């Protein structure tokens, strides 16, 4: 067929093919997303977890289907960039009336990159920047509802009634009054007048066992972010917590959490609204948090390009102890790190490159429980050679030559992971600031991961980090595994003194055997900090503790780790 048709005709057919595959994907994405309401009403945690994985797999299949259809249609002209340039122009016109035009641009890029192994970017065949100077369709106010009522409790009741929750409350009046007490107390402490108006997103945010109503309260000229956390108990729905600060909402939408299931037509408008509530959070992160991780990657890359154009920042080694598996580097003024897999892993690592990638795929699909850093996978990034610290570049070429190369004055990264930058826990503790709180949260992080069915594998301090909100998170995934794969054991009693002195284990050890008693030796905590850790987390060194968590996981029990503190919870739910 290609030889019989003109370039413009092929471009038109190809553009419509990609548009149709995008529309099909978008419809299926929303079908899975809408199930969240039923999962919440029925208390179906396992169904929600399955939907999470199903939805993540949809994108790759859809982009792959479009690429294969184009290969079949264009045949030997599949890499004709003049056709693709025309296809991009036609496609831009086809999506301009779609409310999800921004995501549709990224989908085109995803298809393109399945055809061309482009190092860097090619604006002729990719939407490196959006084609639209201003959003084609973002009517003001359409993303939220405005509620007005005298009295905070009545306002909360109006918010609840305005949401389509399709379930009965245990005692809505009681919950509204309890939520109002929390809000009114915080307002009084801040010297703010009472609230009479609320602007709440007109869609419900579902994740795990929770449902969240998100927006802002108006108190005079002040705008106060708010999120109501709802749980569905056997007896009915209840308000579980109230969040009223930017920090609390930022943790709710954290890069360490699984993505929300939120049914919306205008993602750009929703992200703009959320940005007003959390101005310090990147739009890239907000797109990702509402389930559009591919467009989140696009936005992050655009932010990175903008930063590099406006600054002279050079890539340099990231803070912390170098690892045996990854080379990690960063830009001082840009809050992410780049991780590249080494060609060879030093002893005692006995894993493969594919194993490392599989661990990142596991984290991508698993419940991150607020403790695992989301990693965006990139291929064929390219940056000017002068933007690299010479010692860093020498190290990358020496240790990562399979992945990093120099081409026409550019440093090409064939494969990398990009994560939010956090302060390594060992570096944080050396600063002497809030050390005891960080150590206690370190133990809680291990517990939260176990509750989600994850065993970090390597519990060294250097593999954990501290976020700007003071939360301890885990980011070194090469030894990470599921709790179910581990065999937690108690150290056998030695038969002789010689056995204890032996450098070789005198008892058989399987590849998945884990001895929690040994954790204390490798944690790297000393003195007062060691005492603080043991005061609350001594049971982490007991195989029976891990065995009980493992048994719960095997029985299908899903233990929720909620993104708010006890202080945010209503008195009636404690």
What is the rounded CA–CA span in Å between residue 295 and residue 103?
6
Report which of 201, 209, 207 is spatially closest to residue 227, judged by C-alpha positions: 201
Report which of 540, 533, 362 is spatially closest to residue 446, judged by C-alpha positions: 540
Phi, psi of 203, rounded to the nearest 5 degrees: -140, 155
Report which of 368, 391, 393, 372 is spatially closest to residue 383, judged by C-alpha positions: 393
Handedness of CA 150, 242, 239, 250 (dihedral sign): positive
Report, in this order, helix, strand and coil percent for the chain, each rounded to 5: 50, 20, 35
Q: Where are the beta strands (DSSP E) in 386-544?
A: 404-407, 410-420, 423-424, 454-455, 464-466, 472-474, 481-482, 487-488, 513-514
Report which of 264, 165, 266 is spatially closest to residue 213, judged by C-alpha positions: 165
How many other C-beta atoms can be found within 10 angstroms of the C-beta atom of residue 209? 20
Q: Omega into 348 within 30° of 0, i.e. cis? A: yes
Strand partners, 481: 455
Cα distances (Å, whole numbers) of residue 406 to 118, 325, 393, 409, 411: 15, 22, 10, 6, 5
Handedness of CA 180, 181, 184, 189 (dihedral sign): negative
Helices and strands: H and E segment counts in the chain: 18, 19
The 10 Å CB-count burial string (b at 16+, else e) for 20-36 is ebbbebbebbeebbebb
> Of these residues, 21, 100, 102, 374, which one is catalytic?
374
Handedness of CA 113, 374, 454, 349 (dihedral sign): positive
Concatenating the DSSP letter of every residue in 417-457 gives EEEE--EEHHHHHHTTSSHHHHHHHHHHHHHHHHHTTEE-S
CB 349 within 8 A of CB 542: no
> SS3 for 252-320, per residue?
HCCCCCCCCECCCCCHHHHHHHHHHHCCCCCHHHHHHHCCCHHHHHHHHHHHHHHHHHHCCCCEEECCC
CB 478 within 8 A of CB 342: no
What SS3 class is residue 95?
helix
Q: What is the largest CA-CA distance in the chain?
A: 85
What is the rounded CA–CA span in Å between residue 559 and residue 483?
13
374 given a catalytic annotation: yes
User: Which residues are known catalytic residues?
Assistant: 374
């Amino acid at each position: 067929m290609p030889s019989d048709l003109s370039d413009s005709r092929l471009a038109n057919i190809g553009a419509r093919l990609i548009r149709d595959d995008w529309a099909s994907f978008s419809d299926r994405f929303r079908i899975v997303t809408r199930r969240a309401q039923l999962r919440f009403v029925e208390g179906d945690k396992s169904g929600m977890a399955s939907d999470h994985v199903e939805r993540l797999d949809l994108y790759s299949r859809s982009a792959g289907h479009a690429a294969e259809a184009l290969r079949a249609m264009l045949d030997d002209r599949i890499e004709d960039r003049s056709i693709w340039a025309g296809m991009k122009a036609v496609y831009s016109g086809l999506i301009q009336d779609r409310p999800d035009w921004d995501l549709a641009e990224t989908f085109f890029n995803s298809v393109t990159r399945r055809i061309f192994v482009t190092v860097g970017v090619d604006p002729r065949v990719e939407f490196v920047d959006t084609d639209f100077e201003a959003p084609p369709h973002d009517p003001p106010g359409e993303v939220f509802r405005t509620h007005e009522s005298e009295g905070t409790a009545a306002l909360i009741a109006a918010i609840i009634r305005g949401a389509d929750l399709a379930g009965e409350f245990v005692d809505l009046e009681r919950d509204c009054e309890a939520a109002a007490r929390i809000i009114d107390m915080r307002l009084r402490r801040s010297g703010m007048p009472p609230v009479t108006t609320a602007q709440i997103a007109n869609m419900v945010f579902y994740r795990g066992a929770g449902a969240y109503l998100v927006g802002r309260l108006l108190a005079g000229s002040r705008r106060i972010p708010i999120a109501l956390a709802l749980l569905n108990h056997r007896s009915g729905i209840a308000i579980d917590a109230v969040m009223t600060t930017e920090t609390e909402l930022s943790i709710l939408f954290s890069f360490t959490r699984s993505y929300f299931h939120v049914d919306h037509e205008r993602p750009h408008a929703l992200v703009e609204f959320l940005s007003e509530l959390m101005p310090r959070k990147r739009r890239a992160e907000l797109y990702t948090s509402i389930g559009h991780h591919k467009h989140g990657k696009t936005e992050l890359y655009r932010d990175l390009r903008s930063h590099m154009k406006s600054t002279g920042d050079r890539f340099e080694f990231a803070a912390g102890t170098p690892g045996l598996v990854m080379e990690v580097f960063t830009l001082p003024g840009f809050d992410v790190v780049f991780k590249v897999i080494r060609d060879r892993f030093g002893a005692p690592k006995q894993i493969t490159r594919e194993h490392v990638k599989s661990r990142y795929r596991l984290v991508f699909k698993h419940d991150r429980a607020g403790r695992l850093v989301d990693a965006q996978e990139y291929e064929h990034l390219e940056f000017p050679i002068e933007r690299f610290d010479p010692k860093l570049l020498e190290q990358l070429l020496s240790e990562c030559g399979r992945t990093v190369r120099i081409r026409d004055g550019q440093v090409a990264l064939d494969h990398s992971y990009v994560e939010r930058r956090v302060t390594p826990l060992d570096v944080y503790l050396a600063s002497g600031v809030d050390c005891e709180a960080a150590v206690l949260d370190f133990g809680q992080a291990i517990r939260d991961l176990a509750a989600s069915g994850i065993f970090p594998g390597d519990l060294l301090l250097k593999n954990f980090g501290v976020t700007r909100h003071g939360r301890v998170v885990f980011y070194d995934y090469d030894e990470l595994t599921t709790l179910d794969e581990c065999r937690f054991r108690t150290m056998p009693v030695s038969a002789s003194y010689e056995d204890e002195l032996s450098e070789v284990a005198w008892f058989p050890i399987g590849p998945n055997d884990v001895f929690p008693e040994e954790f204390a030796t490798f944690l790297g905590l000393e003195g007062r900090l060691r005492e603080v850790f043991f005061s609350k987390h001594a049971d982490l060194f007991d195989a029976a503790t891990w065995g009980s968590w493992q048994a719960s996981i095997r029985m299908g029990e899903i233990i929720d780790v909620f993104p708010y503190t006890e202080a945010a919870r209503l008195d009636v739910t404690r």
